[in-house]
């Protein structure tokens, strides 16, 4: 399902766009007037439902599929978005997985699986964005506030996200002269299935209380930061934005 949009309008591709934070980002960008390509890996029904909601509200959206770590599949997803809307101005890379466990006992297969999506996937998407975004565009990757808080059991996940931060900061410098900003958003504890899975009520409550604002973040809180970086924030470049209610 799709709706056409004038070529001069801004176009965004959101990886993991049918997920918790991803779907909030998609809705916020659609509200801002973006045509949006909603990327998914394995749940077409959820992505198509989101597309249908946007189109029925008068927006422009399509669903595109691809394994973020597969450069051929993701190149095809980029091409599909470009063909539908005339080009790409913003890429938001929310796709990621999180497996928690102590470093001493973490299953190395889980480490490899997480690094394939979080590191290779971020690299593939960043590489494509660097070559295909139009002037005036923005790439927004995703890290985590736990790179600062250093919570136990997050070691492998933080290792993958620290790699994302490193490549983001370097790519921003490599894009000199192209008028493309490259930043990363590092959410704090946010009420999404990815965050809540496997945590008991006491753990969730304690994490919420640790934040000076004394609540978990909502996906819409994160989407607000993304919309800022995708739109008016042309002088914010090569930065990690910690959107975490003051946790760290």
The per-residue pLDDT for range 45-103, each reduced to its tens digit, is: 999 999 999 999 999 999 999 999 999 999 999 999 999 999 999 999 999 999 999 99
Tokens matching residue 83? 């063909």
Q: pTM for this one?
A: 0.93
Q: Is 157 a catalytic residue?
A: yes
- Stretch among 40-49, 198-207, 219-228, 233-242 having the lowest mean pLDDT: 198-207
* Residue 58 CB partners (closer than 8 Å, separation 6+): none
Which CATH architecture fits 11-243? 3-Layer(aba) Sandwich (3.40)
Q: Is the pLDDT of residue 198 over 90?
A: no
The pLDDT of residue 8 is: 45
Among 40, 154, 157, 242, which one carries the catalytic annotation?
Answer: 157
How far, in Å, are 86, 101, 181, 191, 196 from residue 199 at the CA level? 43, 12, 36, 11, 6
Quick one: pLDDT at residue 51?
Answer: 98
> Residue 3 above 50 pLDDT?
no
Assign 196 a pLDDT band (cuts: 50, 70, 90): confident
């Amino acid at each position: 399902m799709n709706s056409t949009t004038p070529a001069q309008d801004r176009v965004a591709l959101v990886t993991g766009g049918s997920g918790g934070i991803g779907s909030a980002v998609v809705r916020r960008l659609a509200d801002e007037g973006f045509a949006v390509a909603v990327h998914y890996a394995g749940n077409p029904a959820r992505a198509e439902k989101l597309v249908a909601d946007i189109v029925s509200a008068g927006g422009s959206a399509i669903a595109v599929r691809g394994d973020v770590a597969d450069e051929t599949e993701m190149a095809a997803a980029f091409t599909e978005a470009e063909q539908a809307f005339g080009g790409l101005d913003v890429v938001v890379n929310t796709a990621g997985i999180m497996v928690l466990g102590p470093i001493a006992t973490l299953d190395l297969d889980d480490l490899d699986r997480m690094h394939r999506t979080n590191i290779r996937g971020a690299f593939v998407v960043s590489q494509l964005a660097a070559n295909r975004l139009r002037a005036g565009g923005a790439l927004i990757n995703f890290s985590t506030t736990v790179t600062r808080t250093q919570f136990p059991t997050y070691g492998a996940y933080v290792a993958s996200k620290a790699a994302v931060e490193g490549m983001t900061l370097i790519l921003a410098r490599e894009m000199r002269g192209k008028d493309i900003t490259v930043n990363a958003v590092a959410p704090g504890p946010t009420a999404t299935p990815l965050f809540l899975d496997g945590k008991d009520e006491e753990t969730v409550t304690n994490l919420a209380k640790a934040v000076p604002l004394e609540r978990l973040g909502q996906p819409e809180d994160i989407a607000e930061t993304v919309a800022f970086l995708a739109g008016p924030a042309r002088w914010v470049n090569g930065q990690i934005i910690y959107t975490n209610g003051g946790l760290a």
